[in-house]
Amino acid sequence: MPDWLALYYDDPIEISHGEGRYVWDSAGRRYLDFFGGILTTLTGHALPEVTKAVGEQAGRIIHSSTLYLNRPMVELAERIAQLSGIPDPRVFFTTSGTEANDTALLLATTYRRSNTVLAMRNSYHGRSFSAIGITGNRAWSPTSLSPLQTHYVHGGVRTRGPFAHLDDRAFVEACVADLKDVLGHTRPPAALIAEPVQGVGGFTSPPDGLYAAFREVLRDHGILWIADEVQTGWGRTGDHFWGWQAHDRSGPPDIVTFAKGIGNGMSVGGVIARAEIMNCLDAQSISTFGGTQVTMAAGLANLTYLLEHDLQGNARRVGGLLIERLRAVAAQLPGVREVRGRGLMIGVELVRPGTDEADPRALAAVLEAAREGGLLIGKGGGHSTTALRITPPLSLTVAEAEEGAAILEHALRSTY
C-alpha cells in the first residue's frame, strides 16, 4: 500500500464489524462511532433493511448498469430527481464523490466551453486529477498539474484569515467583493463549485446568505453553480435536506453532486443537473460500476429508511442537544475555541490555550484519549488539522449522544 494513505491513530484500528452506531475492533473492543456517519453510513451500521436488500439483489443479478434496462437505478434516480428540486432533472450515478465531481466538471466545462473554474479556498472535492485541481486544501492536494484553470475565492472559512474578524454582513460583502475582483481578471469561468459546509476543511461554513449573494453575481455572468453535497446531503445538517438550502432560498443549484452515506457503504455517488446541462455531451459516456443493481438496491432501501424514520428531524433534535452539551464543556476549557455546526455535522475547533494558534498535537491527543474511552471521532481543518469532526449516523439516540459527549469531555479534560 502507498505511503500516502491517511491511517488514524498511533496504533491503527482494524474494524471488524458494526451495528447501529457502534463498531467493534478485531480484538473485540466496542466503540461508539461518531465519525462513520460521514464516511459510509447515513442510517447506521449493518442496517437490516439495507443488508437484506443488498443480499437479495446480489443473489439475483449484478450486471451492466447502463447497457440494459436497470429497474433499481431508474427507481432511485426518480426518487432523487424529485427530492432535488431541480427543474427537468437528470441523474447520473457514479461510484464515488470524486467521480461525481469529475462528471460535474465535465458537464460544466463542456456546457460553457471553458476550462476555467472557481472554487472555494480550503475546499475538498476528491482525489482524481481534475478533482484535485479544484481542491483548495493544500493538505489534500498532492499535485499542482491540473488541466483546469482554477481560481480560489474567499468564503468557506470564517475562523481564520483576513476576514475572520468581520460580522456576518461585512463578511458577505467582503467575499462578494473578492469574487467580483477575481471575475475581473479571469477568462469566463464555467462554474463555481462549493461545499455548503466545508467537510474535510473542519465543518466551517459561511453565514447564511453568502452563496445566495454569490449566485446573483454568477447568474449575471452565466456561470454555473455546483453544490458538492457529498457530506451535507440527505438531512445531515438537520434543518435542511440539502446543505445548499441553508444558503440560497433563490432556488436549487445548477448541478448537485452526492455520494458517501447514501448507499450505506455500497458505492453510490452521482450528479443531478437539469436536462439541458446533463445532455450537453456530444458522445456516449458510461460507468461500468456506477449504478449497478446492487448499489441502487442499497440506496433505495437506505433512502426509504431515512425518510420513513425522519432521520433529518432526528439529526436536528439530537444534534442540537449534542451541540449544546459540547458548548457547555467548551465554556470551561480555554483550548476549545468553538463548537460549531448544524444537525449531526459538528466541528470542535481546538487552539493552544490563550492563543489563536491551531493545536494539532492536542487534537491528536484528544483523538487518542477518546479512542481509549471507546469513541471514534474525526479530524479536519484547512492547511493544518484544527478541528475535531463529529458525524455519527443520523439515527443517533439521545442516550448515545450523551455517552459520546461524556467520553469526549473526559478526553478534552485529560488533554487540557
Q: Which residues bind ligand PMP (CB under 6 A)?
A: 96-98, 101, 124-126, 195, 199-200, 228, 230-231, 259, 269
d(CA 66, CA 73): 9
Q: How far is the CB of 329 from ligand PMP (least distance, A)?
A: 27
Q: How far is the CB of 228 from ligand PMP (least distance, A)?
A: 5
d(CA 18, CA 11): 20
**Is the Cβ of residue 194 or residue 362 nearer to ligand PMP in the bound state?**
194
Q: How far is the CB of 359 from ligand PMP (least distance, A)?
A: 23
Q: Residue for cell digits 491527543?
A: 365
Q: Report the relative pairing of strands 149-153 and 116-120 from DSSP bridges.
A: parallel
Paired with 120 in beta bridges are 153
The answer to whether 56 touches 65, Cβ cutoff 8 Å, is no
CA-closest candidate to residue 287, choices 275, 271, 276: 271
d(CA 202, CA 378): 9
The answer to whether 367 touches 381, Cβ cutoff 8 Å, is no
CA-closest candidate to residue 238, choices 348, 322, 329, 300: 322
Q: How far is the CB of 123 from ligand PMP (least distance, A)?
A: 8
Q: How far is the CB of 148 from ligand PMP (least distance, A)?
A: 16
**Is the Cβ of residue 70 or residue 96 nearer to ligand PMP in the bound state?**
96
> What 3 state SS string does 145-177 have?
CCCCEEEEECCCCCCCCCCCCCCHHHHHHHHHH
Q: How far is the CB of 230 from ligand PMP (least distance, A)?
A: 4
Q: How far is the CB of 202 from ligand PMP (least distance, A)?
A: 12
**Is the Cβ of residue 124 or residue 400 nearer to ligand PMP in the bound state?**
124
**Is the Cβ of residue 125 or residue 379 nearer to ligand PMP in the bound state?**
125
Cell digits of residue 280: 450537453
d(CA 295, CA 77): 12
Cell digits of residue 185: 481578471
Q: Report the relative pairing of strands 375-376 and 30-33 from DSSP bridges.
A: parallel
The answer to whether 107 touches 273, Cβ cutoff 8 Å, is yes
Q: How far is the CB of 234 from ligand PMP (least distance, A)?
A: 13
d(CA 416, CA 409): 11
Q: How far is the CB of 220 from ligand PMP (least distance, A)?
A: 27
**Is the Cβ of residue 93 or residue 124 nearer to ligand PMP in the bound state?**
124
CA-closest candidate to residue 242, choices 263, 227, 264, 262: 227
Q: How far is the CB of 139 from ligand PMP (least distance, A)?
A: 12
DSSP state of 338: E
**Is the Cβ of residue 258 or residue 415 nearer to ligand PMP in the bound state?**
258
Q: Which residue is nearest to ligand PMP (CB)?
A: 97
Q: Residue for cell digits 442537544?
A: 321
